[in-house]
Amino acid sequence: MKPLIGISCCVKLFGIVGMPNHAASDTYIRATDQVVGGVPVLIPANGEKADIQTLLARLDGIMLTGSRSNVQPALYDGPPHAEGTPEDPKRDGVTLPLIRAAIAAGVPLLAICRGMQELNVALGGTLHQRLQDLPDRIDHSTPMQPNARVRTGKAHNVRITAGGWLHRIAGTLDLPVNSLHNQGMDRLAPGLVAEAVAPDGTVEAVRGMFPGFVVGVQWHPEYDWETDPVSRRIFEEFGAVVSARMNADRSAAAD
């Protein structure tokens, strides 16, 4: 039996009347199907209606997705967003308590882009809202290109922490990554350590110092796991941890 992987959704407006839908990109579904080896289960962005304990009782792992929307600044005592900045309070209302509960329960957690920012905020960290507006920072935002290869291609390298989780699976201290974000880490939350930083000092990957698997990357490995071996290994490692925990739980239940 395959593990169930919860994938966080956003509230997005579809159709000619702008009907709210709960959605996650197909890239996360495909990575879960084809690399993680799990069954993707979409977690709706239903805010306070989310039953966190029921989700955790049934899910074997959680993948927090990227999004165009930004985490609400009030959740980390930041200044209001600039007018027009997309937010998704219903998603925030699910993911932040889900993160804290998942870590407490030891449910493996892989956080990607916005997901890594949620992870930091959920544990008490803060965010920069627009890295490109800060002195001595590079522009990490999505290139406005219709060509997907340009839009999601490698944008800069990251310097990997020697001896860390990412160093072990990447086998290098210098890794090229894509870059599609405006927000970025400011103060790192207690319990998180940096696994990689960009040339401008922006934290690009983190690991949780907790008993279970808690990893975040600021880039998007779901875009290029078919061609990039490190992107593929990130999902393979997550899948191996999830399967091992699921099998251990079932063995314990059978005893």
> Tell me, what's the pLDDT at 219?
96
Contact between 10 and 41 under an 8 Å Cβ cutoff? The reply is: no
Residue with tokens 């579904």: 29
Residue-wise pLDDT tens digits, 161-194: 999 999 999 999 999 999 888 899 999 999 999 9
Which amino acids are annotated catalytic?
Answer: 113, 220, 222
- Say whether pLDDT at 143 is over 90: no
Total-model pTM: 0.95
Listing DSSP states for 27-57 in one string gives HHHHHIIIII-SEEEEE---GGG--HHHHHH
Q: How many residues does the chain have?
A: 255
* Residues 97-125 pLDDT 10s: 999 999 999 999 999 999 999 999 999 99
CB of 21 closer than 8 Å to CB of 5 = no
Categorize the per-residue pLDDT at 222 as very low, low, confident or very high, splitting at 50, 70 and 90: very high
- Take residue 9 and report the two structure tokens written for it: 């959704």
pLDDT band for position 28 (cuts 50, 70, 90): very high
Quickly state the pLDDT bin for 239 (edges 50, 70, 90).
very high
For 176, which DSSP code? Answer: E
DSSP class of residue 253? H
Residue 240 host element (H or E) = helix 229-254
Q: pLDDT above 70 covers what percent of the chain? A: 96
| Tens digits of residue pLDDT in 51-61 | 999 999 999 99
Kindly state which CATH superfamily the domain 4-254 is placed in: Class I glutamine amidotransferase (GATase) domain (3.40.50.880)
